[in-house]
Structure 1
C-alpha cells in the first residue's frame, strides 16, 4: 500500500494587500504599501492548483478566511457596524487595520503540523493547528483553520487545537517540519526546525521555538528514535529565512537544503542519515547547496527551496514547481537543470506567483501537504477537491467580485470591504461540504 500526499491550498482572499506585517520577512517588508492585485493573486493561486491537479495529485481547496473579522474588532473594544468600525480602526489604531484585513491565511504551510497515520501514535493522520502567536495578523487565523480542518478530516483524522502558552510556544506549523520516508506505508523520519535558543538572531525574532516543536512531537506520539530537532542558523534568520522552508525542502528520500540553513548540525544530520538508511532500502539523498554555487541571498530572494515537490500519478520521479524567480536567476536555474539531468526530478515547471511572492510566500508556502493512505483519501469531502467545474466556478467569482487593485486607503472603504466579504462568502458557499 502507498501513501498519497494530498495538497491543501486556500483561495487567496479578496483583501490581499501588502501590509509589510511579516516578522523577518524581507519580501513582505520591501513591498509594504505597494498596490496589490487581489484578483491576480487568487487566479495565480488557482493556476498552481490546476497544475498540481493535472499531475494526478489530489488537490484540496479551502475558502478564504473572512476579513475583517467583526467579532474580533468588537472584542478589541470597537463598536457598531462595519461601516462604523472601519473609520474607528483607521483613526484610533491604524496599525491594526492591516492586520484585520490580512489574507495571510493563504499560506497554508503555516496552518498545521501534519503526521501520517503510519507515524502517529493515534493511528490516524494527526494535525496540530499552528498557534501563529508571533504576530497579530496570523494569530487571528487558527480558530477558523481548526474548524476548516475538522470539517475536512474529522471523520478519519486526529485534529489537535493550537498549543497554549503564547510566545514561549510559538508555532508556525509545517513550514518548520519535514517528513523523510517513502511512498510506502512505512515509518518516516521527522525533522523539526526551531529558531530560538542561543545564539539568537540579532535582527529578527525567531518565529518557532524548540519547546513548541517538542510539544507537537509529543502530541503526535512520534518515536524518539525517528524524531530530530535542528536549529536554524541565526544568521540565516537575520538574512530573511523566517521559516525553514525558505532554505530547505524534503520529499520522500530527498532532502535539499542550503549550506547555511542550520547551526552546528553536522552530528544531527549524520544521525538522520544513519537512521533513514536503517529504515529504508533506497537510502537518503541529502543535497547541500554551498554558498559558492548559490548565495544565501539568492536562495532567499528566488525561493528555490520553497519550490513545491509533488509526485505525479504517471512518473516515479517527482516534479518540481518553482516560482518564476528561479528561472530568472541563472545560478538557481542551473541548479534546477542539473537536478533534472541527474534524475532527481522528472521535470520542473515555473509558476507565476508574483503576488504571493511579493508578500513572502512561494509555492510551498501556499500548500499544506497531508500524507494519507489511499483508503483515507477516499474519505475526503469531494466538494472541496479540485475539479474543472469547481475551478471554473471559482474563477467566475474572482473575476466578478475581486478588486483588481488594493492599497492602504482602500482598506477603510466600507463599500470595498462589504464587496470583499460578499466575494469570500460566495466562495465559501461553493466549497461547502456536500459529501
Structure 2
C-alpha cells in the first residue's frame, strides 16, 4: 500500500498583524508595530501550497481561527456587546486586544503533534493539540484547533484525537515544531524524535538564561504515552540552551528532518554524538539507514540561521530518492547562507535542489516555510478517509484565492484592531470558509 507525507499548510487569517507578541522570536520582536498586509500574507501562503501541489506533493490546508477572540476577552472581565468588549479592551488594555487578534494559528507546525499509524499501539493516526501555554496569545488556540482537526480527520477507525496537555509550565507543549519522524518509508514503523528545551522536574538539564525554553521533556514524554509509542521507537534530545538564548525558540529554527535524513546546525543540540548514535541504532532496527547533514558554524552562524530561517525549511522526498529543500527568500538574501546552499546542492549529496519562496509577510512575524505546515503521514486508506474538502486541488486553490481577495484587507495596523467591523469581517469570511472546506460548525460564533 502506498503511503504519503501530506503537508497541511495553515491558511493565514484575516487579522494577520505585527503585534510583537512572541518574546524570544527575533523577527516577531523586531517588526513589532509595523503595518501588515493580511491579503498578501494569505496569497503568499496559498502560492506555496499550489506550487507543492503542482510538483506532485500531497498538499492540504488548515483553517485559521476566529479573531479577535471576544470570548477570551470576556474571560478577562470585559463585558457588554461584542463591539463594547472590543472598545473597552482597546481603551483599557490594548496589549490584551492585540493578543486576542493574533493570527498566529497560521503557523500550524505548532498546532499539534502527529504520530502515524505505523508507530502507534492501536494502529491509528494520533493527534494531540499543543497547549502552547508559554504565550497567552497562542494558549487560546487549542480548543478551536482540536475542533478543526476533528473535522478534517473525523473517521474514528483511522484517527484518534487527544486533548491538549494540562496548561501549566511543567507541560509546555509546542507541537510538531519540536517533533520529527524518521523512517525508511512513510507507511513503515519509524523513530519519533522529540526535542525539548528544559525539564520541569530534573535540574540536571541546563536551561537557557535569556529566553524561555518552551518545550519540556515531560510534555514530550506525555505525548509519546498518549500516542502509544514504543520506547524503542522514540528518541528524546535536548536543544542547546545557548541557541535558545540566540533566538532559536523552537527546534525547527535550527534543524529539520525527513525520511532518513536530519539536516541540522552544528550547535543545535546537547550531546549530539550520543543522540545521533541512538537515532542510527533505533532506525536500523526497523530497517532504516539514518543519515545526517551537519551545517558547520564556520559556514553558517546561529545568527545567520535565525535571520534567514535556513532550517525552518521543508525537506521533501522526491521519487528518485533525492531531496528538495523549500526555503524562504531571506536565505537567498543572506550571502553566507546562499553560498552554503549552492555548495550543498552541487556536491551530489542527499539534498539536490533548493527552491525559494517569497513568504515575507510570515517571515516578518517569525515564521518560515516549516512553521506554515503540519506534516501527517498517511497510507492510501487513511488519505481516502480525510475530509476531501481540505485537500488542495486546482479548483480549491481558485476558490480560496477568490475568497481571500473578497474578504481580506490589504493593510492592518494596531489601531485597526479596535474596529468592531473587523470582527464581523472575520466571522463572515470564516463562515464562508467552512463551507468551502466542508468543515461544518467549528468556530465559537457558529456553535454558540
TM-score computed with the length of structure 2 as normaliser? 0.93
2:301 alignment counterpart: 295
- Aligned partner of 1:430 among 422, 433, 436: 436
Q: CA deviation at 1:17?
A: 0.3
Q: Could you tell me which residue of structure 1 aligns to residue 446 of structure 2?
A: none
State how far apart, in whole Å, the 1-side matches of 2:422 and 2:380 are: 43
Indicate the residue corresponding to 1:50 in structure 2.
50
Distance 1:119 1:335 in 2: 35
Match of 1:178 in 2: 180
CA contact (8 A) 1:64 1:428 kept: no
Which residue of the other structure, out of 346, 356, 362, is the alignment partner of 1:350? 356
Q: Does 1:390 align with 2:392?
A: no
1:209 aligns with 2:211: no
Q: SS at the partner of 1:378? A: helix
**How far has the Cα of 1:429 moved from its partner?**
2.4
Other-structure match for 2:253? 246
RMSD of equivalent CA atoms: 1.6
Q: 2:14 matched to which residue of 1?
A: 14
**Equivalence for 2:111:** 111
> 2:69–2:100: 8 Å Cα contact kept in structure 1?
yes
**Secondary structure, in 3 states, of the residue corresponding to 2:351?**
coil
- By how many angstroms is 1:2 displaced? 3.6
- Are 1:333 and 2:338 matched, yes or no? yes
Equivalent residue of 2:124, what SS? Answer: coil
Match of residue 279 from structure 2: 272
The structure 2 residue matched to 1:190, chosen from 184, 189, 192, is: 192
SS in 2 for 1:207: coil
Q: Which residue of the partner structure matches residue 153 of structure 1?
A: 153
- Deviation at 1:31? 0.5
User: What corresponds to 1:5 in structure 2?
Assistant: 5
Q: Give the Cα separation in 2 of the matches to 1:62 and 1:190.
A: 23
Query: Does the CA contact (< 8 Å) of 2:184 and 2:260 recur in 1?
Result: yes
269-278 or 253-262, larger mean C-alpha shift: 269-278
CA distance in 1, matches of 2:355, 2:272: 32
User: How big is the shift at 1:278?
Assistant: 3.5
Query: For residues 179 and 3 of structure 1, what CA distance do their matches in structure 2 show?
Result: 14
Farther off after superposition, 180-189 or 52-61: 180-189
State whether residues 186 and 259 of structure 2, in contact with CA within 8 Å, keep that contact through their aligned partners in structure 1: no
1:320 equivalent to 2:325? Answer: yes
In structure 2, how many angstroms separate the alpha carbons of the residues matched to 1:343 and 1:230? 26
Q: d(CA) in 2 for partners of 1:356 and 1:166?
A: 28
Residue in 2 that maps onto 1:223? 230
Residue 68 of structure 1 corresponds to 68
Q: Secondary structure at the match of 1:190?
A: strand
Deviation at 1:339, TM superposition (A): 3.2
Residue deviations 1:279-325 (CA, integer Å, cap 9, x gap): 325x211111111011110011111111112234x543232111011
- Deviation of 1:126 (Å): 0.9
Q: How many pairs are equivalent? A: 432
Question: What is the alpha-carbon distance in structure 2 between the residues aligned to residue 160 and residue 266 of structure 1?
Answer: 34
Partners of 1:412 and 1:227 in 2: how far apart?
A: 46
Per-residue deviation at 1:423? 2.3
Q: What residue in structure 2 maps to residue 164 of structure 1? A: 166
Q: Within 2, Cα distance between the matches of 1:346 and 1:374?
A: 28
Which deviations, in whole Å up to 9, do the C-alpha atoms of 1:71-95 show, x marking residues without a partner? 2222222112222111100122221
Any stretches of 5+ residues in structure 2 without a counterpart?
200-204, 441-448
SS in 2 for 1:132: coil
CA contact (8 A) 1:14 1:424 kept: no
1:305 alignment partner, SS class: coil
The answer as to 2:98 corresponding to 1:93 is no
* SS of match in other structure, 1:192: strand
